[in-house]
Chains A and B, each alone.
Chain A
């Protein structure tokens, strides 16, 4: 079975540009999570979806960040406009429900110049 698929794996762009990260969760999983990982702050939960509905977005740093889940097989995380401090590895994870073990994608390494 395919795991969680994220794209792109690497993204380098200039500040001010719009960045869109994509995630395909494991089929049948009802919960989807977006995380950001940096050396300084560790792994931070940005937003959690259940059955395609955003349940907890308290981790989204500011209005420049937005996330959508238009259907059970696709989610996006968008940053507009991007800033150098957004540079990090962004992970998507999915699970059967919020309590069950999460399956992580291999992340998108984002560099904002």
Chain B
């Protein structure tokens, strides 16, 4: 299965701290995406990183990709209570360009 697996399953931090979530996958990929899901809402796309890229930034978000280790990380710097959500990675590869989603990391940021 191409499905990525996020780690940890749950993360609880204080406002202002950094939050790091990881995604591991099993086979080679074309792209890896990170999404956020607030409670009761649909997923919202955050960043797409291609297999030939190593790092991407968007505001307070930093995504890295290590294809040799088949893993990616999402770093949220200076977290805010509004960052409380579930974060999912989605990978496509193995001949399919349709992304497969992991089970997600539940992040709680305490004010």
Binding site for B on A (CB under 8 A): 4, 33, 35, 42-43, 45, 48, 56, 91, 93, 98-99, 101-107
Q: Are the CB atoms of B104 and A42 closer together than 8 Å?
A: yes
Contact A4 B101 (CB under 8 A): no
**A4/B42 contact (C-beta < 8 A), A99-B92, A101-B33 known:** yes
Closest to B31 in A: A99
The residues in B between 70 and 107 inclusive whose CB is less than 8 angstroms from any CB of A are 88, 92, 97-104
Interface majority SS on B: helix, strand, loop or mixed?
strand
Pick the most buried of B30, B33, B43, B48: most chain A CB atoms within 10 A of its CB.
Answer: B43
Among residues of A, the one whose C-beta sits closest to the C-beta of B46 is: A101
Instruction: Say yes or no: is B45 at the interface (Cβ < 8 Å to chain A).
Output: yes
Interface size class of B (residues with CB under 8 A): 20 to 34
Q: Which residues of B contact A45 (CB under 8 A)?
A: 98, 100-101
A46 to B103 alpha-carbon distance, docked (Å): 16
**Cα of A93 to Cα of B92 in the assembled complex, Å:** 16
Is A43 touching B42 in the complex (CB atoms < 8 A)? no
| Separation of A107 and B42 alpha carbons in the complex (Å) | 6
Q: Kindly list the 5 A-B residue pairs having the minimum CB-CB distance in the complex, ordered from nearest.
A: A104-B42, A101-B45, A43-B101, A42-B103, A104-B43
A-B contact pairs, 30 of them (CB 8 A): A4-B42, A33-B98, A35-B101, A42-B102, A42-B104, A43-B43, A43-B101, A43-B104, A45-B98, A45-B100, A91-B43, A93-B42, A93-B43, A98-B97, A98-B98, A99-B30, A99-B31, A99-B92, A99-B97, A101-B33, A101-B45, A102-B43, A102-B45, A104-B42, A104-B43, A104-B44, A106-B40, A106-B41, A107-B41, A107-B42
